[in-house]
């Protein structure tokens, strides 16, 4: 995998929104990795391609109306977003998984827009 030049703003601790969820909860992530900020670029370099891949595959399953695969992918995204501290992305993934579980793929497709938006926000916050 090609390494990407990633960095996290020095002063950034959290990017809370009105609902209390962070676009990127950096402090929580640091807690999980023993406070080692030097590892964040490596973690992000793993996270971003994973999300990119999931998004491409999600487009495919929505087009193919494959709710089972849609649920699995949104489940995976939920976990990986939670681990990196992308709380808002995680929250959208929870909704996506629920829609997929109920086979509501139209709502699922609509929610995908929010996911992409949140992803863009996340990337902007971590300063790609």
Partner 1 sequence: MLAVDDIEMNRYMVRLMLDGCSDIAVIEAENGREALEILERKQSVDIVLLDLEMPVMNGYEALQRIKGDDRFREIPVIVLTADRSEVTKTLAMGANDFMAKPYDPEELKLRVMNHVRSKKLNEMVCDMNRILQDEIIRKTSELQKALDFSRKAEFEITVRLGRAAEFRDTETGLHIRRISELSRELAVLAGLDAQECDILKHASPLHDVGKIGIPDRVLLKPGKLDPGEFDLMKMHTVIGSEILSEAGEFPVIKAGQIVALQHHEKWDGSGYPHGLSGTGIHVFGRIVMVADVFDALTSSRPYKKAFPLEKAVEIMLEGKGTFFDPRLLDLFLDNLKVFVNIKEKYKDSDHCETTGDQSGAASTSAILVTHADNPGTRNGTKLPSSQSKGSGLKQASS
**DSSP class per residue in 32-47:** HTTT-GGGHHHHHHHH
With respect to partner 1, which residue has the nearer C-beta, 85 or 108?
85
Contact status, residue 128 vs residue 119, Cβ threshold 8 Å: no
CB of 8 to partner 1, least distance (A): 15
CB of 65 to partner 1, least distance (A): 19
**Residue showing tokens 């399953």:** 61
CB of 53 to partner 1, least distance (A): 10
Token pair of 112 as six digits? 């995908």
* Distance (Å, whole) CA 106 – CA 7: 36
With respect to partner 1, which residue has the nearer C-beta, 31 or 103?
31
With respect to partner 1, which residue has the nearer C-beta, 82 or 109?
82
With respect to partner 1, which residue has the nearer C-beta, 53 or 113?
53
Per CB under 8 A, residues contacting partner 1 are 28, 31-34, 36, 39, 42-43, 46-47, 50, 72, 75-76, 78-80, 82-85
Token pair of 49 as six digits? 């391609």
CB of 32 to partner 1, least distance (A): 5
* Distance (Å, whole) CA 36 – CA 5: 18
């Amino acid at each position: 995998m090609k390494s990407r030049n990633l960095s996290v703003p020095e002063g950034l601790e959290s990017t809370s929104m009105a609902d209390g969820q962070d676009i990127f909860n950096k402090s929580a992530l640091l807690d999980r990795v023993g406070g080692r900020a030097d590892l964040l670029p490596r973690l992000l370099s793993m996270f971003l391609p994973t999300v990119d891949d999931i998004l491409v595959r999600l487009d495919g399953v929505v087009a193919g109306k494959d709710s089972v695969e849609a649920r699995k992918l949104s489940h995976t995204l939920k976990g990986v977003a939670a681990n990196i501290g992308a709380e808002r992305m995680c929250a959208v993934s929870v909704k996506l998984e629920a829609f997929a579980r109920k086979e509501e793929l139209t709502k699922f497709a609509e929610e995908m827009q929010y996911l992409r938006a949140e992803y863009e926000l996340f990337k902007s916050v971590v300063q790609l």
